[in-house]
Amino acid sequence: MIKFGTDGWRAVISKDYTFDNVKIVAQAIADYIKEIDDKRPVLVGYDTRFMSEEYARLCAGVLVANGIKTYLTKKPTPTPVVSFSVKNMNLAGAIMITASHNPPQWNGIKFKGDYGGSALPSIIAEIEKHLYKNEVKFVEPENSNLFSYIDPDKEYFEHIEKLVDLNLIAKSRPFAIIDPMHGAGVGYVKTLLEKYGIKHIQIRDERNPYFGGVNPEPIYKNLGKLIDAVVQNNADIGLATDGDADRVGAVDEKGEFIDSHRIYALLLRHLVEVKGLKGGVVKTFSTTNMVPILANKYGLKIYETPIGFKYICELFLKEDILIGGEESGGIGIKNHIPERDGILCSLLLLEIMAYYQKPISQILDELFKEIGYHYYDRVDLHLPNEIKEKTLKIISQNTEFAGRKIKDIQTLDGYKYIFEDGSWILFRASGTEPVLRVYTEQFTKDEVKRLLDEAVKFIEKMK
């Protein structure tokens, strides 16, 4: 049974992610587009996963068989480039073949709306309604005059050059290690650094459907190679993007991981204090308290949403939003698309270093001195569904946890305990992977570790 999750449909290759099911989803998307009577073309893009180009071709074949003019990217292309192209080329939408950061055996389909961002919950509901309704139509795309290949990179790069001061970065002469984690981001940050003569080394840039044995998610446990490369080469920063390059992760000049919360806080401060921009600030339920602290300081309106960039995207479309981001490393910025962009965020981190002319660890330390030290980590626990449900039920009734009094339990998405000092721990079932996530933000590293250890012990007892 095909079911859309936090972001589109994801499934294990061969098990449920089969040619037939990919075509069924593509047919539902084609039916949705025909129903809203959108005569504009659709773009299909894909990442570097196993056979992604073939699944993309199948989707293109279904779209043209349904009379929809279709473009297919010539090579693996990041999600933000696909989303940007939808808006830039005034298309009806895009299909992106990707399972983003999931393990190698997964693939997926994301749908992007004509505004250039994640399909809103209402669009997903419409597409889901069309699943299995009509018989799948298919023609070999190359045989249809509605079909053509495109390379949308040039226009994307031109746009990014307007958003980032690459000349300022070049003048500050940084040395960056770029890590696309074998994903669709290969060559993107690199192209711009090369153009401006900025010193860099790109690692993990060959196609490897196994992603070298780690998931292409730019979090600490998967960035060992980047950390080593930064330290061995005495680089100033390491910049990683996930499997489809909409997320960002970073490593400082000492080889310390900089998580998404810290990146978000740095970007928010930079956009307001240095670039002089204003607008609403959006964070998901699992994102750092540093964001509201900064937003309050600048007098900016703060919005909190459930997990999923689609909720942030919705706000970008309705309100004047400066920045929206999430724990998973997806951050979107004003004057671009209502979409996360790991390439843009990587370049903005270089711009921040160039502006302050200081090591990134020092810039971060100064920020912490201003708004308080914040530490964060997450564990993902593989649990059978019954245990997951049982755990969440018991979690919802606790009044104390790990010897600390719970001041409030918030339930926007999962169960979040707010402790008396404002720090928190969140228990939530993932919508993209069969795991229970436990996230916490505390004022010391030790307390983060202690709480996560306690959470694991607590959940172990449910088994």
Per CB under 6 A, residues contacting ligand G6P are 6-7, 100, 307-309, 326, 328, 330, 430-433, 437
User: Residue 194 Cβ, how far from ligand G6P at the closest point, in Å?
Assistant: 29
Q: How many CA atoms lie within 13 A of 138 on its CB side?
A: 18
Residue closer to ligand G6P (CB basis): 7 or 165: 7
CB of 144 to ligand G6P, least distance (A): 31
Greatest C-alpha distance within the chain: 67
**Quick one: 229 or 240, whose CB is closer to ligand G6P?**
240
Residue whose CB is less far from ligand G6P, 31 or 339: 339
List alpha helices for 133-196, DSSP H. 153-163, 166-172, 188-195
Which residue from 211, 208, 249 is spatially nearest to 342, judged by alpha carbons?
A: 249
- Return the number of the residue (6 or 21) whose C-beta is nearest ligand G6P: 6
Q: Tally Cβ neighbours within 10 Å of residue 312.
A: 30
The least CB distance from residue 430 to ligand G6P, in Å, is: 3
Quick one: 27 or 287, whose CB is closer to ligand G6P? 287
Give the residue with the Cβ less far from ligand G6P, 6 or 391: 6
User: What is the spatial order of strands in the sheet that 302-305 belongs to?
Assistant: 302-305, 280-284, 321-325, 331-333
- Cβ closer to ligand G6P: 100 or 215? 100
Report the nearest approach of ligand G6P to the CB of residue 6 (Å): 4
The sheet that has 248-251: what strands, in order across it?
A: 199-202, 175-179, 237-241, 248-251, 257-258
Determine how many CB atoms are found less than 10 A away from the CB of residue 220. 15
Ranges of beta strands (E only) in 311-432 are 321-325, 331-333, 375-382, 400-401, 404-410, 415-419, 424-429
Q: What's the half-sphere exposure (Cβ side, CA atoms, 13 Å) at 17? A: 23
Minimal distance in Å, beta carbon 53 to ligand G6P? 21
- Name, in order, each residue with C-beta under 8 angstroms of 266's C-beta and a sequence gap of 6 or more: 349, 352, 363, 364, 367
Contact of 124 with 112, CB cutoff 8 Å: no
State whether residue 52 is helix, strand or coil.
helix
For ligand G6P, the closer CB: 147 or 285: 285
Q: For tokens 């926007």, what's the residue?
A: 412
How many other β-carbons are positioned within 10 Å of the β-carbon of residue 426? 23
Residue nearest to ligand G6P as judged by C-beta position: 7
The DSSP element (H or E) to which 138 belongs, if any, is none
**322 with 300: CB under 8 angstroms?**
yes
Count of CA atoms in the C-beta half-sphere (13 A) of 55: 32
DSSP 213: G
CB of 438 to ligand G6P, least distance (A): 11
Nearer to ligand G6P, 100 or 107 (CB): 100
Q: Of 23 and 247, which CB lies nearer to ligand G6P in the complex structure?
A: 247
What minimum distance in Å lies between the beta carbon of 260 and ligand G6P?
A: 10
Cβ at position 424, least distance to ligand G6P in Å? 16
Helix axes 260-269, 290-298, angle to 10 degrees: 10
Nearer to ligand G6P, 326 or 351 (CB): 326
Q: Residue 258, SS3?
A: strand
Residue pair 284/368 in contact by the 8 Å Cβ criterion: no
C-beta of 97: minimal distance to ligand G6P in Å?
A: 14
Provide the residue type at 110 as one letter.
Answer: K
Task: Enumerate residues 6+ apart whose C-beta is below 8 A from 157.
Answer: 191, 192
Least Å from the CB of residue 346 to ligand G6P: 17
Q: How far is the CB of 62 from ligand G6P (least distance, A)?
A: 23
